[in-house]
Structure 1
Amino acid sequence: MSKPMTLNVRVSGALSDFVSTNIGDSGAYENVSEYVRDLIRRDKARVEGERLALLKTELVHAFAAPESDYQPLDADMIIARNARP
């Protein structure tokens, strides 16, 4: 597990105002750190969701291929194929 990271971010103007509306008694977050951690978690989940969707698309395409497109491979053939530059 990686060590904790400290980030310093400066926002001003409309961004600062927007963050302020989401912090404290009137907002959904207790402090800016909590808000930023939630944003990072949501972005991470979005990226992972996109990767999963891409994988699902590839698998659907692969399983839709006719049986004649497949060829039997043993471990030595796979190792040799993957060793090529």
Structure 2
Amino acid sequence: MNKPITLNVRISGALGEFVAANVGDQGAYENVSEYVRDLIRRDKERSEAEQFQRLKAELTRAFAAPEDSYDALDAEAVIARNRRA
């Protein structure tokens, strides 16, 4: 397991008020740490979903290409091409 990271963040003004409204008795989170962890999880999920959508779009384009546009490559050719890149 990775070592936990400690973050110290100062938030003031409208952002601080927004966080305060979401934490405690009236908020959806018990404490600021719980709120920040949830935000990070959501951002991670969003990032992974974007990466998946990019991959899906690229694969969709690849599979839509005409058959004669493909080059037959063996494993050695693929490895060599990737080493050059």
The interval holding the TM-score normalised by the smaller chain is over 0.9
Letter in 1 for 2:74: D
Once residues 62 and 26 of structure 2 are traced to their aligned partners in structure 1, the CA distance between those partners, rounded to angstroms, is 50
> Structure 2 regions of 5+ residues with no counterpart?
none
Shift of 1:5: 0.2
Counterpart of 1:30 in structure 2 is 30
Secondary structure (helix, strand or coil) at the match of 1:73 reads: coil
> Structure 1 regions of 5+ residues with no counterpart?
none
Counterpart of 1:71 in structure 2 is 71
Q: How does 1:11-50 map to 2 (within 5 A)?
A: 11-50=11-50
Letter in 2 for 1:71: D
Once residues 38 and 83 of structure 1 are traced to their aligned partners in structure 2, the CA distance between those partners, rounded to angstroms, is 39
> CA deviation digits over 1:35-84, x for unaligned, max 9?
00000000111111111111110010000000001121111211222232
Secondary structure (helix, strand or coil) at the match of 2:39 reads: helix
Secondary structure (helix, strand or coil) at the match of 2:73 reads: coil
Which runs of 4 or more aligned residues in structure 1 lie more than 6 Å from their structure 2 counterparts after TM superposition? none
Secondary structure (helix, strand or coil) at the match of 1:72 reads: coil
RMSD: 1.1
Counterpart of 1:51 in structure 2 is 51
Secondary structure (helix, strand or coil) at the match of 2:80 reads: helix
